[in-house]
Amino acid sequence: MDLMPNRKKKKVAEIVDSKLRSISTTIRRVRLKDIRILDNDENARYMTSEQMRVLVDNLKRDGNLTSVPLVIEKEKKLEAVSGNHRIQAAVEAGIEEAEVMVLPPDIS
């Protein structure tokens, strides 16, 4: 059962879109080991060891990340917001550096 009418959904989507457009991000090449990733109990997404192995093998074959992780800079340290498994798998695959999208520390 859908509790929100379509016109309200559209308004909410417009507000979110407006907020997202005002965020200033940068793309930066960083050492992946310097990024704090979420522990398994903090991460909303779950990946089996088999899924992680496949991801690591794919990254070894490709040699780089094909999508850019999203990180936030807090007190001059980077923390993963999206892409925790990709970062972890890339490190396991021997990839030392990659480009990430950096959100400003004052984002709310």
pLDDT digits (tens, 9 = 90+) for 26-45: 899 999 999 999 776 676 67
Judge whether 13 and 79 are in contact, CB under 8 Å: no
Element at 49 (helix H, strand E) = helix 49-62
Rounded to whole angstroms, the Cα distance separating 52 from 33 reads 17
59-104 pLDDT, tens digit per residue, is: 999 999 989 999 999 888 999 989 999 999 999 999 999 999 998 8
> Model-level pTM?
0.74
Residue reference for tokens 């990024």:
35
Domain locations along the chain: 25-103
Please state which CATH number belongs to domain 25-103: 3.90.1530.10
Query: 35 is written with which tokens?
Result: 């990024």
Reference 59, options 80, 31, 88, 38; nearest CA is 88
